[in-house]
Amino acid sequence: MNYPLVRPVYYYSLFKEILNFIKSPKNVLNTEKSVRVKVYDTIGLYFIKLVFLIPVVLFFALVYDPENVQSVRMMDRFTPPMLLLVGGIILPLVEEIGFRLSLKFKPVYLAASLSVFVYYFLTKAVFQTNISLVDESFATRVLISLSSGVVLLPIFNTSSVKEKLASFWNRHFRSIFYLSCIIFAWIHISKYEITFLNVLLLPILTIPQLLSAIIYGYTRVSFGFKYPLFLHMSVNLIAISLSLLPFTD
């Protein structure tokens, strides 16, 4: 068990674990595995994801490769250090708070997640701008979003509401998990131009994000919030760093 990441049987066992979770998601924290094993499992799941992404990569390479306009815009707006900070640290933190934090129900978690969704709604539906764009509406978007969380928290903390929400989470966790994965994946269609073809190919174009959402969700529920957060940040930082290399197209 010293070096499980080099053993094929380890990946087979890990794949069966997450497959069983996908079939029947359970909101249960794994207390049997050590921190070391949880770190190994988190990394191992990402390697498994890469294997399943091979057909998608081939599709992008041989069939259809839409331009990632979001990445281009961010590279135009930010210097390399700021791009690493925003794309590698801030945005993963915001996404994990929005989509994974409240998979484990607590009033403060739900209030924080809904604050992120309010920010998304204001950004896209009201001000029709970019999530990471610091423009004249940025302070307004942030203030309203944070205020909504502050208002909702004491409401969620009242005993009757808290009890009903906790009961709802326990009864419908499976649907909540599936919905969080699908929304997380499909919201990333904003990476591309909204054309008829891109919308038609939405399930294919967002497979990488869907697989990420499953892994992040599983590790958040089973291991704790820090595991998907650090994995998400690490993946983004590596991807952005590679894109900044002088020989990278």
Query: Mean pLDDT for each 10-residue chunk of the chain (249 residues)?
Result: 83 96 94 94 95 92 87 84 94 97 97 97 92 91 97 96 96 97 94 91 94 97 97 94 75
Longest dimension (CA), the chain: 59
- Whether the model pTM is above 0.75: yes
Neighbours of 8 (CB within 10 A): 7
3-state helix, strand, coil in the chain (%, to 5): 80, 0, 20
Q: What distance in Å separates the CA atoms of residue 210 and residue 226, rounded to the nearest whole number?
A: 19
Which of 100, 112, 106, 91 has the alpha carbon at shortest distance from 176? 100
Collapsed DSSP state (helix, strand, coil) of residue 70: helix
* pLDDT given for residue 173 in this prediction: 97
- Cβ atoms of 165 and 110 within 8 Å: the answer is yes
What integer pLDDT is reported at residue 245 of this predicted model?
A: 80
